[in-house]
Structure 1
Amino acid sequence: MQKFDSFSAFYPYYLREHANPWCRLMHYIGSTLVLLILAWILLTDAWFWLISLPVIGYGFAWFGHLVFEHNKPATFHYPWYSLAADWVMYKDFLTGQLSGKLASAAIKQS
């Protein structure tokens, strides 16, 4: 695995590790569920359910890597960069910026 000294150097690598759109979809589902459950927790004071957030978020993401991407998630080598990159990728998807960033990372899109 490459060594990364900055998030800006890591993010294109992260996108290449998420080239499969179905894998990215699993990430988006997990991230959306995390946000919805977090909102529910805040509204209901059900703080115990905070422990479910990493299970749900990472569960969907790792399923995407296992089934669609067939690679090892970057979380194991770069946990903080990977966590940040997941949210940046989600933001890029929601704001319509992801296509350009995928192209910049030399990822073919179907």
Structure 2
Amino acid sequence: MEQTDSGNPAGEKAFQSFAEFYPFYLSEHANDTSRRLHYIGSLLVLCILAWAILSQNWLLLIVIPVAGYGFAWVGHFFFEKNRPATFKYPLYSLMGDWVMLRDALTGRIRF
């Protein structure tokens, strides 16, 4: 029996684990362009983080959310035409970004 979020009038599913959430996350990223924008954002986050550490310019860290979420949200609003899961499931969504990137880089899902 599927459990729903009792606080949600639409009766959407309440995810009990990331393993349960991830298939939903992938379904929200069916558009190739949107997924690729997520990959670009995630890789840019890693580059900014590395540059901040190497240069010890810690102010660079403030642009990490803009880089990561900026590309992802363009993908959702203009290509997927859906609302980012970040708004409802922030932790699972962040985890999903990195797992999806790993899965793309290892060939588990289409890049």
TM-score, normalization by structure 1:
0.87
Helix, strand or coil: the match of 1:10? helix
Q: 1:10 aligns with which of 7, 17, 21?
A: 21
Structure having the larger proportion of residues in helix: 1
Alignment length, in residue pairs? 99
Extract structure 1 runs of 4+ deviating beyond 6 A: none
Aligned AA for 1:29? Answer: I
Task: Give the structure 1 partner of residue 80 of structure 2.
Answer: 69
Stretches of structure 2 lacking an aligned partner (at least 5 in a row): 1-11
Summarize the alignment of residues 25-44 of structure 1 with structure 2, pairs less than 5 Å apart.
25-44=36-55
Amino acid at match of 2:87: F
Deviation readout 1:30-61 (Å, 9 max, x if unpaired): 01111111111110000011010011100000
What SS does the corresponding residue of 2:29 show, helix, strand or coil? coil
Q: Which of 80, 84, 97 does residue 86 from structure 1 map onto? A: 97
In 1, the alpha carbon distance for the partners of 2:64 and 2:77 equals: 20
Percentage identity across paired residues of the two chains: 60
Q: Distance in 2 between matches of 1:77 and 1:2?
A: 11
Query: By how many angstroms is 1:18 displaced?
Result: 0.2
Which is higher, the Rg of structure 1 or of structure 2?
2
1:90 CA displacement: 0.3
Task: Write the deviation string for residues 50-108 of structure 1: whole angstroms up to 9, x where unpaired.
Answer: 01001110000000001100000000010000000110000000111114xxxxxxxxx
Amino acid of the structure 1 residue aligned with 2:98: W
One-letter amino acid matched to 1:18: H
Who is 1:105 aligned against? Answer: none
